[in-house]
Structure 1
């Protein structure tokens, strides 16, 4: 098999999994698919801009403004049409033409979606009183949506969504389920109307986020890749790390992280970077399966990295109800630690195999300098943010709220960077597989494509930088402006560089136009699966809101786990992996977070552990990502194996072995939320980063069986103990010192009144469950008010009543902080009252960080034992 054939087979896998396997030979059919993709991308750019509102205001025609409100219906119509035209219905269906039945299915799907747009006013006049036509169109839309999901994503999501639909219709016949949920079943009219005619089912939050945000980020990534930004990332990574031991593998990790930050697909990311890095890894001595596994682990983890995170970041904004900037903050540290640990794993593999790096002209950069560059890079980003804020503040008197000066500054910077790039030679492809592979020089490679970083800079600036006079833009508008500038770069960078070099401009201008058009097409085709998946996931969310189905699943999981939080987390992790093997990341996150996030929070509260909601959502998201390289389904492993010519199952197993360190992180930040930078100061955040990084590197060394030298079993065990001491120092502190002072009854009131101002009071509430009537405890936290226990509770919307030795609480009012938990979960009008059974206040103890000292001393002992056995330098 030739390299070209291998590359084609990998590209075919991406096409079949992400963009559709049909390639019509009939010219007008092929052009229709292409034209629909372009139209979808243009439509999304149109509704993301402010043009509809401006046109509506200028013309007085509300239709231009209303199209934004109706956009999710049009969005799904595009997704269904492209899924039907681009994906054959079965493996035996024609791929070189579109059969008649697909035209019928596409027409029915489009009609069902646009029915909600055309007849929106009459539908609004009869909420809940659905007509026969409404029900027919809803049933048609649901059936076509399921067919579209089957075409583009396979059976798993269809089966899961169908099970929830069946529960909506027949769940009321089960006495057990009825006792848990108080749901008595639904009529055909009510259920279909709930799923299709309202915005609580198919057209709910998930599809709304896909419409307003996800598409723009996917389009941005597609344009960046087509314009050459993806290749620039790869070349910079090779130039930076290629000359180190096992350099191409390390470059694969770095380049996959950079491209994965803005890519919506693990498979596409694997092929984009793997086509270049996997052959290089094999040429320096990596076995085929390990070369593919490194690329798979790197590419799938790209979706853990802000700012896009495989589109889950924007869904977390809606589900957790926190600002986007907070999602990025919480996700940042685990992603950086995970990637640096993967770099270290690759380094250990290179040491075990005795591999070298690539030849490189000019001065080589040592590993210490690389580490300094990495760390200073993060510091530099922070400094840049402050400098940008300072620059914006200085320009405020001139610019005000105008963006024209900022546009002018960016335009000048773009021209200057292009002028500099035009004076540098283009990067030459390494076309000779028999010659020793070489790494390009860093400086010309970095500077030669630095203008590709400008749209990313614009994206980050709009999302994260804020001054007193300029608010952050929404993610949708931030992505819109970054995409607009990316379009400008795609259209102009080739002809402008040709002009600066004194070469013919017309050919390069046509090539730039081709990149732009191909970016529009690729962005839309990459969105087909995400579009229909978010619609189908909305069925599951809609069933939960209609029936309370999550309570049934939660009850099953709670019974199996016996109320043990660790067992519960393991079960949720396994469930996420199983679902993720058949679902795209976005759909998997929606499904598992909708079902399991409330259960984890509830069981944790019963066990006395208050788990922040963002930690729970990050937990299920991480395991959904890991499913992309989990055998036997992991498509990313198959794509990497197609390039490496290795065994896909072995590639997936090896990739999952590399990802064990990522599987450890979710369990850690459930019990140690410092990793998510929740309520930590900047100095403490820096300490958490370095200690967590050391711990994760030691975990990698223990699992690889190699540290300074090949480890003996007890040395690996010692490294795991050190790792645990660094990650969970509080565990050891709890063994020698009580964490809380506990009191009940009247003593509990005295304890609350004696607590320092603002200190957290942990209240254990016990009462009859609203659904089951069984007594169930839960734990909440409130800030203390010295000398006023009743006032502390009143401030949180809780009314305290003393009745003998009992501390009874009344039902909290809607809108108060604890209404969603205490107000909806307990029966306040039964025979047994809801009461506070104990109060806890954290004791003043020695810092848990003191346990870092014995851990580091033990690490020094392992180093001293292994150093005499080292047969080669550590780096």
Structure 2
């Protein structure tokens, strides 16, 4: 099968799984009108996120209006609709007109409603009802499962009075629900749309500019020069590339479909089984959503929730992300050793100096972004500067120079990429609005406390882990985290977790739902590209990402694993924690792969997993015990007759 055929299959599969790929295309004047609108929206967003002045509700209302307008323009109302069109369907023209009417009405009347103490006229209520219906229809087209979840939560406002026990409530009138969801600041126009209107849009646009500047190719080439010739080199390249690109686009599914079309066939050609190759791509793309410095824009939401500087979140996320990817790299290497695989030949590896000379300047925007945030500038300002620096740095060499057409393409793709995630953020406003209005989050926390008892951090963590994975299934990373954080974070804090540990715990498990059956979206898309069994691919992905499933329980109990989250910790202790936790992850990978220096017996594998758990725990006693047992295992394997040292 040719690369073009593989890419076409990946595109088709992604269209089945991801609404962002099922968009319409227009011809002629209408196509130019859509492009002009997208560019105009981008200018509007950048202006009012930097030097322009506008109150928060108005900005969010304009942002929501644009999101719905483009959804009805670009996303078909039903799956069988033709993608290429010469005109906009009549029903969608009607929906667009209603969108402009309803959200325009809110923008011009919000101050009146606020000044009247929230008194709503009959017209205000009708507009609120139409607005919520429009949001649900847009969500149906773009988000699928999340729209269904939003409807369930919305209905709970009325039918929750029939739920017995702690989770039930006394019921709310239609007026109260419409007022809270549409005219209040905790519903549709709450934190979800606020994040979409600021961080998400800007960073999706930044990712698009990086892509069209040639940064993606630079990452692939530099990864090849670093690990391409080592055993399992192509798989390691996939891990590096997917981690870096996944943290920028914030969509594990889209990342699998783009980088996977190159990395998965390459892994298969070098000897990896189809299921393993697909699993590597899926698990590597998933981790990008909690990998600093960008964290798929989720980190900025977390900083807002915690009320701290983003730099603190970024530093705290470093060790979990590092250990997660270390586990994948070690597993890939040991699998290659077990299969006797070699790296790529020298002629297939780019020359490092040539890669740096030709494309090294493309790293400048990322350096500027991180540097400015570390210096205390806001993430928004830093991102806007990074966007312009991407454009300027691309002009350093003719081969990477972005011309006017490329710039417009980057803007259009970036704006279109923000629509699906943005609608998800509008939908979670209905979910969070329900949680706040009905006190569902507080009641759920109280119920958990009754079941597990105060101080039962481990049992509370298990319940929240299950809930985070379920709520995160089939939902974009940012939306999944916000939903889980609204419901589950208070539970963890009530049973004794620190706020930052609770938020990071929920984030990681919400992201890992992408590789967790039965709705392992990233695994399924990767399996489609590899032509492998979906269930086997998902199970292998869980094995490769085992560090991500285990580590949160350790930092939940001991936030020392979240660097910078505990005050007064010495540099020496931080270094020791990093080293011993890394040893623990290597042992975990060796135990699950059944390979250390040589293939391991079942008893040795079990011992290695136990050693891994001991070493990850920051306590000095467990570290010493784990290292002693590892030393004994290593000596026994080295003294065996069939031992040969190969790297």
Q: Place the TM-score, normalised by the shorter chain, in its bin.
A: over 0.9
Within the alignment, does 1:330 sit opposite 2:316 as a pair?
yes
Gaps of 5+ in 2: none
**2:105 equivalent in structure 1:** 115
**1:542 equivalent in structure 2:** 433
Q: Find the residue that maps to 2:346 and give its secondary structure.
A: coil
Shift, 1:167, TM fit: 2.3
Contact 1:661/1:696 (CA < 8 Å) preserved in 2? yes
Please give the per-residue CA displacement for 1:199-254, whole angstroms capped at 9, x wherever unaligned.
21111112112111111111101110111101110110011110111111111111
Within the alignment, does 1:453 sit opposite 2:363 as a pair?
yes
**1:759 equivalent in structure 2:** none
CA distance in 2 between counterparts of 1:497 and 1:93 reads: 42
**1:751 equivalent in structure 2:** none
Shift, 1:2, TM fit: 3.5
Match of 2:520 among 634, 653, 665: 634
Shift, 1:266, TM fit: 0.9
CA distance in 1 between counterparts of 2:350 and 2:126 reads: 62
Within the alignment, does 1:676 sit opposite 2:562 as a pair?
yes
Shift, 1:560, TM fit: 5.1
CA distance in 2 between counterparts of 1:140 and 1:870 reads: 73
CA distance in 1 between counterparts of 2:173 and 2:628 reads: 67
CA distance in 1 between counterparts of 2:337 and 2:21 reads: 41
475-484 vs 267-276, which deviates more? 267-276
Please give the per-residue CA displacement for 1:487-545, whole angstroms capped at 9, x wherever unaligned.
3345x35xx526xxxxxxxxx97x62222112111111211121111111111222222
**2:34 equivalent in structure 1:** 33
**1:169 equivalent in structure 2:** 158
Higher relative contact order (CA 8 A, sep 6+): 2
CA distance in 2 between counterparts of 1:29 and 1:645 reads: 38
**1:873 equivalent in structure 2:** 645
CA distance in 1 between counterparts of 2:587 and 2:212 reads: 39
For normalisation by structure 2, the TM-score amounts to 0.94
**2:305 equivalent in structure 1:** 319
- Paired residue total: 639
Match of 1:578 among 466, 470, 494: 470
1:869–1:345 distance in 2 versus 1, CA, 3 Å: farther
CA distance in 2 between counterparts of 1:853 and 1:548 reads: 46
1:497–1:159 distance in 2 versus 1, CA, 3 Å: closer
Please give the per-residue CA displacement for 1:391-432, whole angstroms capped at 9, x wherever unaligned.
xxxxxxxxxxxxxxxxxxxxxxxxxxxxxxxxxxxxxxxxxx
Shift, 1:276, TM fit: 2.3
**2:9 equivalent in structure 1:** 9
**1:616 equivalent in structure 2:** 502
**2:24 equivalent in structure 1:** 23
**2:492 equivalent in structure 1:** 600
Q: Find the residue that maps to 1:262 and give its secondary structure.
A: helix
Contact 2:617/2:623 (CA < 8 Å) preserved in 1? no
Please give the per-residue CA displacement for 1:136-183, whole angstroms capped at 9, x wherever unaligned.
1111111111111111111x2223222222222333455635xx78x5
Greater helix percent: which structure? 2
Within the alignment, does 1:528 sit opposite 2:419 as a pair?
yes
Match of 1:70 among 58, 76, 83: 58
Match of 2:199 among 200, 210, 213: 213
CA distance in 1 between counterparts of 2:139 and 2:37 reads: 19
Match of 1:588 among 468, 475, 480: 480
**1:859 equivalent in structure 2:** 630
CA distance in 2 between counterparts of 1:108 and 1:20 reads: 25
CA distance in 2 between counterparts of 1:649 and 1:118 reads: 52
Match of 1:569 among 453, 461, 466: 461
Within the alignment, does 1:662 sit opposite 2:566 as a pair?
no
Contact 2:469/2:513 (CA < 8 Å) preserved in 1? yes
Contact 2:468/2:488 (CA < 8 Å) preserved in 1? no
CA distance in 1 between counterparts of 2:363 and 2:324 reads: 23
CA distance in 1 between counterparts of 2:635 and 2:245 reads: 40
Shift, 1:674, TM fit: 0.9
Please give the per-residue CA displacement for 1:267-309, whole angstroms capped at 9, x wherever unaligned.
2222332222222212211122211111111111111111221
Match of 1:486 among 381, 386, 390: 390
CA distance in 2 between counterparts of 1:100 and 1:562 reads: 57
In the TM superposition, 1:790-809 aligns within 5 A as none
1:690–1:729 distance in 2 versus 1, CA, 3 Å: closer
**1:518 equivalent in structure 2:** 409
Contact 2:3/2:261 (CA < 8 Å) preserved in 1? no
Please give the per-residue CA displacement for 1:676-730, whole angstroms capped at 9, x wherever unaligned.
0232222211111111000111011111111111111211222122223223364
CA distance in 1 between counterparts of 2:315 and 2:257 reads: 29
Q: Find the residue that maps to 2:320 and give its secondary structure.
A: helix
Within the alignment, does 1:236 sit opposite 2:222 as a pair?
yes
Please give the per-residue CA displacement for 1:730-787, whole angstroms capped at 9, x wherever unaligned.
4xxxxxxxxxxxxxxxxxxxxxxxxxxxxxxxxxxxxxxxxxxxxxxxxxxxxxxxxx
1:190–1:233 distance in 2 versus 1, CA, 3 Å: same
Contact 2:225/2:352 (CA < 8 Å) preserved in 1? yes
Contact 1:6/1:642 (CA < 8 Å) preserved in 2? no
Within the alignment, does 1:713 sit opposite 2:597 as a pair?
no
Shift, 1:600, TM fit: 1.6
**1:652 equivalent in structure 2:** 538
**1:89 equivalent in structure 2:** 77
1:26–1:448 distance in 2 versus 1, CA, 3 Å: closer
Shift, 1:108, TM fit: 1.7
CA distance in 2 between counterparts of 1:524 and 1:229 reads: 19
1:555–1:487 distance in 2 versus 1, CA, 3 Å: same
CA distance in 2 between counterparts of 1:279 and 1:862 reads: 36
Contact 1:87/1:152 (CA < 8 Å) preserved in 2? yes
CA distance in 2 between counterparts of 1:235 and 1:458 reads: 22
Within the alignment, does 1:463 sit opposite 2:370 as a pair?
no
User: What's the RMSD between the two structures over aligned residues?
Assistant: 2.2
Contact 1:262/1:307 (CA < 8 Å) preserved in 2? no
**1:203 equivalent in structure 2:** 189
In the TM superposition, 1:730-749 aligns within 5 A as 730=619
Contact 2:158/2:172 (CA < 8 Å) preserved in 1? yes
CA distance in 2 between counterparts of 1:32 and 1:632 reads: 41
Please give the per-residue CA displacement for 1:619-642, whole angstroms capped at 9, x wherever unaligned.
111111111122343332233234
**1:497 equivalent in structure 2:** 398
Contact 1:246/1:357 (CA < 8 Å) preserved in 2? yes
Shift, 1:667, TM fit: 1.0
CA distance in 2 between counterparts of 1:726 and 1:349 reads: 22
Contact 1:20/1:86 (CA < 8 Å) preserved in 2? no
CA distance in 1 between counterparts of 2:273 and 2:403 reads: 38
Shift, 1:656, TM fit: 2.1
CA distance in 2 between counterparts of 1:488 and 1:279 reads: 35
Within the alignment, does 1:150 sit opposite 2:140 as a pair?
yes
CA distance in 1 between counterparts of 2:622 and 2:486 reads: 38
129-138 vs 266-275, which deviates more? 266-275
Q: Find the residue that maps to 1:66 and give its secondary structure.
A: coil
Contact 2:457/2:557 (CA < 8 Å) preserved in 1? no
CA distance in 2 between counterparts of 1:148 and 1:117 reads: 20
99-108 vs 219-228, which deviates more? 99-108
Shift, 1:107, TM fit: 2.3
1:284–1:209 distance in 2 versus 1, CA, 3 Å: same
Please give the per-residue CA displacement for 1:355-408, whole angstroms capped at 9, x wherever unaligned.
0001125xxxxxxxxxxxxxxxxxxxxxxxxxxxxxxxxxxxxxxxxxxxxxxx
Shift, 1:71, TM fit: 1.4
**2:128 equivalent in structure 1:** 138
Contact 1:146/1:536 (CA < 8 Å) preserved in 2? yes
CA distance in 2 between counterparts of 1:291 and 1:729 reads: 33
Contact 1:20/1:152 (CA < 8 Å) preserved in 2? no
Q: Find the residue that maps to 1:261 and give its secondary structure.
A: helix
Q: Which has the larger radius of gyration?
A: 1
Contact 2:581/2:617 (CA < 8 Å) preserved in 1? no
Q: Find the residue that maps to 2:193 and give its secondary structure.
A: helix
